Amino acid sequence: MPNAYISGTGGYVPPRIVTNDDLRTQYGMDTTHEWIVQRTGIEQRHFAEEGICSADMGVHAAEKAIANAGLEKTDIDMIIFATLSPRHAFPGDGVYLQEKLGLCAAGRFIPALDIRNQCSGFVYGLATASSMVQSGQVKHVLLVGGETHSAALDLSTRGRTVSSLFGDGAGAVVVSPTEEDRGIRGWYLGADGRYADVLAQRVWNMSKRPYVPTREEDGVGEVAPEMLWANMDGKLVFKNAVERMIQCYMQACFDQKIDQSDIDLFLFHQANLRINQMVAQMLNIPEEKTIHNIQRYGNTTAATIPLLMAEAVETGRLKPGMKVACVAFGSGFTWGSAIIDW
C-alpha cells in the first residue's frame, strides 16, 4: 500500500482588504480595532467582490497546488471541496470547481465530493483524500478548502461578535501516492452533536413546511435575522475548542508513538488567535514552532490550514523532512488532527 503525501500546495485570497477600522467607517459597526484584536488577534481580512464565489477562489488555489505538484490539471483523479459557503444550497461547489478548471472540456469527468464540516473540513478532507490514495483506487486527489463568508455576514453592530471574525479565501493541496517513507501518518476525527446549535447558521429548516417562512399571497420567503445570520455562544465554543484540540492532538501523538518534541511545526486552524495561544500554552509548545496568519486573513474556516501550509512552504518555514501537526475544531462540534512527515 502506498503512502499518501502532500505533493503540492496553493493559496489565494481576494485582493480587497478590510481592516478593523473599515468595519467601523465603511459598515457603521460600533467597534474598535483594539476591541477586535484583544479578543481575536485579527487585524484585517479579505473580502471577495460580488460575483465571486468559493469555487472561483478555489480555482486560483488549485492551479497553484497542481503546478507546485509538478502535475497537469488532467492528472487529477478526484476533487474534494470543503466549504460552509457553497454557491447554492445544492449542488456542491466540487462540480463547479471541476468545470472552472476545464476538466469537463478535457473529458475528465472525475468524481467530485463535497465536505460540510466547517472549520474542521480540511482535516476531514485530508483523512478522506489520504485514504483514497492509499486504497490505490486513485492517484492524485485535489483537496480544496474555500470560503466566501462576506456574502453572509451581518456587517452591523448587531452582528459584530461574529462578523468581525471571518474573511474570504481558498487553500488547496494535492494528495499523491509515494513509496518513500513520508506522508500523512495518521488522522484523528471526532464530533459531538450535542452542541450542533451552539455555532450555526439556520437559514432554513427542512423539518418545517415550508422550509422557510413564506407569505401566502405571493410565495415570497422571509427569513428572520436570527435564522439568516450565523449565531455563536463564544465562551462555550472557546472552552470546547481548547479541550478538543488538545485531546485530539495528544491522541495523535499517542497513536503514532511520538513525543511532542518530535513535532517541528504546528498548523492550528486559524479561528481565534487567543484559542491557539491557550492551546500552545497548555501544551508548552515553543512559540517558534507555531505560525499564524489570522491577523491578516481572519477565520477562513475550511481554508485556514491549507492557506497556512501554502504560506509556510513559500516562506521556507515548512521544509521536506519536517514533522507537522495539523489540528482543527469547528461547528458541529467537529474536530480533527493529522500528523504529517513532510
Residue 145 host element (H or E)? strand 141-147
Q: Which helix (H) or strand (E) element contains residue 132?
A: helix 121-135
Give DSSP secondary structure letters for 184-239: EEEEEEEE-GGGTTTEE--S--TTSSSSS-B-TTT--B---HHHHS-EE-HHHHHH
Residues 178 and 321: their CA atoms lie apart, in Å, by 14
Asked if 3 is an active-site residue, the reply is no
Q: CA 139 to CA 9: how far, in whole Å?
A: 16
Instruction: Give the DSSP H or E segment for 134.
Output: helix 121-135
Helix (H) or strand (E) holding 234: helix 234-256
Please confirm, yes or no, whether 299 is among the known catalytic residues. yes
Peptide bond into 210 cis (omega under 30): yes
Active site residue 119: yes
Q: Which of 46, 248, 299, 326 is catalytic?
A: 299
How far apart are alpha carbons 300 and 337 in whole angstroms?
Answer: 18
Q: Choose, from 60, 149, 269, 293, the residue flagged as catalytic.
A: 269
Catalytic member of 119, 248, 253, 326: 119
Active site amino acids:
119, 269, 299
